[in-house]
Amino acid sequence: MDFAQCSRDGCEGRLERRDYTARRKVAGQRFEVPSEVLVCPECGREVISYAEAHRVSLVIAGELASHGPLTGAAFRHMRRSLELTGRQVADVLRVVPETISRWEHEQQAIPASAVLLLGTIVLESLVDEDGRSETLERATRLVA
């Protein structure tokens, strides 16, 4: 992926990497994750690539998977960080997609087993070089 050149129309600047601390509040908790942005010295445009933003998201999901809380907001963040649709999670957990929405909006209690399973998938994805999870692959196979 070429993120070397500034994307602003007509700008010839070459992007430079700069350290950045991503600050997020998820499920009532504040997180600070060391990250990096790309800055154009010509026009001043500052961007964060999707890959980097997604990495930050997964790091926070790992913290939630390890330490909780077991809330709908935490569940939603973990699902999103895995780039899973409501349908995909619903299939693996053997519920209807509307149930996932109710859990995430805290209209219905989430079974601890569902949070633990999603958390396991997050933690496996974090340590795998390609972001894969054996548990997710096995669960997907079993319910197919």
Indicate which single residue of 100, 121, 122, 136 sits in contact with other proteins (rule: CB under 8 A): 100
CB of 1 to other proteins, least distance (A): 6
Give the residue from 133, 119, 128 showing the smallest Cα distance to 74.
119
How far apart are alpha carbons 123 and 110 in whole angstroms? 19
The size of the interface with other proteins (CB under 8 A), counted in residues, is 37
70: number of Cβ within 10 Å: 16
Stretch (H or E) spanning 126: helix 112-127
CB of 14 to other proteins, least distance (A): 14
- Quote the tokens at residue 126: 């974090």
Peptide bond before residue 41 is cis, with ω within 30 degrees of 0 = no
100: number of Cβ within 10 Å: 25
CB of 9 to other proteins, least distance (A): 6
Nearer to other proteins, 20 or 135 (CB): 20
Residues 34 to 73 in contact with other proteins, rule: CB under 8 A: 37-38, 45-51, 53-54, 57
Residues 110 to 129 in contact with other proteins, rule: CB under 8 A: none
Indicate which single residue of 16, 83, 106, 134 sits in contact with other proteins (rule: CB under 8 A): 83
The answer to whether the CB of 43 falls within 8 A of the CB of 6 is: yes
The span of 62-70, 96-104, 114-122, 133-141 binding other proteins (CB under 8 A) equals 96-104
**Residues that bind other proteins in the complex, under the rule CB under 8 A:** 1-3, 5, 7-9, 20, 23-26, 37-38, 45-51, 53-54, 57, 77, 79-81, 83-87, 97, 100-101, 104
